[in-house]
Chain A
Amino acid sequence: MAAKFEPKITAFVCNWCTYAGADLTGTSRIKYQSNVRILRVPCTGRIDFMMVMKALHQGADGVIVSGCHPNDCHYTSGNYHARRRWMVFKKMMDILGVDMRRIAFSWVSAAEGAKWAQLVNEVTDQVRALGPYVEYRQLVGAGIE
């Protein structure tokens, strides 16, 4: 009997807001699904779009990218730059036909522990419903075509 599918979710979060927010989720004793693997980076501006693609390459079924709300960046403008990059990135992914339902973007502040739990639950449920990311697995396994 095949084991029930549990998605792997990689979350890239900024040190100053979402990481602290996720910490608050824990200290507030809010339960959320344990499918998420959190990777802390200094700022959302640090998140190269390729880091997202590498996560999918390494076996993630879904990716969360999250950081400080606009105007709250510890480095003043890192999240504004990141937002532009994602706006362009999303368009490129649309053209390439990459499944953007698997990549979620969010702003979660250090005070929004509950929002973090809700975000993780929503994304996990959605990716669980979508199933394993077969398209990318096939691509990675295809070798030279």
Chain B
Amino acid sequence: MEALKQRVKELLALAQVKAVLGYTKGTGDRRRPLFIRAAGQVDQLVLDEACTQNLAAYATKREVKQLGKVAVISLPSTQRALLQLMAERQLRDGEVVVLAVDGSEIKEITSASALEEHLARKVTHLDSEDKATLERLAAMSREERWGFWRKELSRCMKCYACRNSCPMCYCEQCTMDCNRPQWVPVASHAFGNLEYHMVRTMHLAGRCVECGECGRACPVGIPVHLLTYCTEESVHEQFGQCAGRTAKLDYALATFKADDQESFIR
């Protein structure tokens, strides 16, 4: 921790970056993002298991980009998101310094290719609760799954926290905000909620880095991250492509193979 703080101070002092994104103490046991712009703020920095938020979502924000080059203290999921953002040309290669902290070792990654190499050795893990929910879903009949999601989504109030917290949802005008024509209903009734979550899932298919931030951001605890997770997994199974792994864009739904195998088209 001290080494990290020291390194952050150095980065700022040498003016290599204009700001460092990290975590600090939030309400209760929670952690919130911290934007360090002066050495005096460095002591507020916290890094422990409670730091889960994907900070990559801030990296594409206009306010952050205006600051200039930033460094991000990052978890593997944040790193995947940053790499995917570079692949999608939302961040320039080298625009962000990735600080990967692994125990006492601090690794500074400054290019997309180095980040790709770094991430090649990481695997994604679902937590036990998510695994249990997925197993439960897999054991259900179709009608039961429909009932499950209907019940879960009935709590949705369309606060759009899942969208706003997602690093891959960076469109300046989201189709949800488009009201001429009104493509997806604004109201958070049963039908509007289903359509919203369908659109969100499909727009993230092949791009989701499986950080689970949408699920953590949900104030009413809907496991929306499982929708994107399962869809992303199906993309990987069917096409072998994976978001957040390559510095060169490899978006499954923008490419095709003449021999893509399906079994349902008559």
For A91, the chain B residues whose CB sits under 8 A away are: 230-231, 234, 238
Residues of B123-147 at the interface with A, using a CB-CB cut-off of 8 Å, are 137, 140, 142-147
Contact of B190 among A86, A92, A119, A143 (CB under 8 A): A143
Q: Chain B: how many interface residues by the 8 Å CB criterion?
A: 47
For B265, the chain A residues whose CB sits under 8 A away are: 83, 86, 105-107
- With A50-B199, A107-B265, A143-B189 as contacts: A99 and B234 at CB distance below 8 Å: no
- With A96-B146, A142-B191 as contacts: A86 and B201 at CB distance below 8 Å: no
CB pair A95 B191 closer than 8 Å? no
CB pair A57 B191 closer than 8 Å? yes
A140 vs B194: C-alpha distance when bound (angstroms): 10
CB pair A88 B148 closer than 8 Å? no
- With A50-B183, A92-B202 as contacts: A71 and B258 at CB distance below 8 Å: yes
Residues of B234-266 at the interface with A, using a CB-CB cut-off of 8 Å, are 234-235, 238-239, 252-258, 260, 262, 264-266
A11 vs B198: C-alpha distance when bound (angstroms): 21
A112 vs B15: C-alpha distance when bound (angstroms): 68
List A residues at the B interface (Cβ < 8 Å).
Answer: 49-50, 53, 57, 70-71, 77, 80-81, 83-92, 94-100, 104-107, 119, 135, 139-140, 142-145
The list of the 6 closest CB pairs from A to B, nearest first, reads: A97-B145, A97-B146, A91-B234, A80-B256, A142-B190, A145-B154
List B residues at the A interface (Cβ < 8 Å).
Answer: 137, 140, 142-150, 154, 183-184, 187-191, 194-195, 198-199, 201-202, 205-206, 226-227, 230-231, 234-235, 238-239, 252-258, 260, 262, 264-266
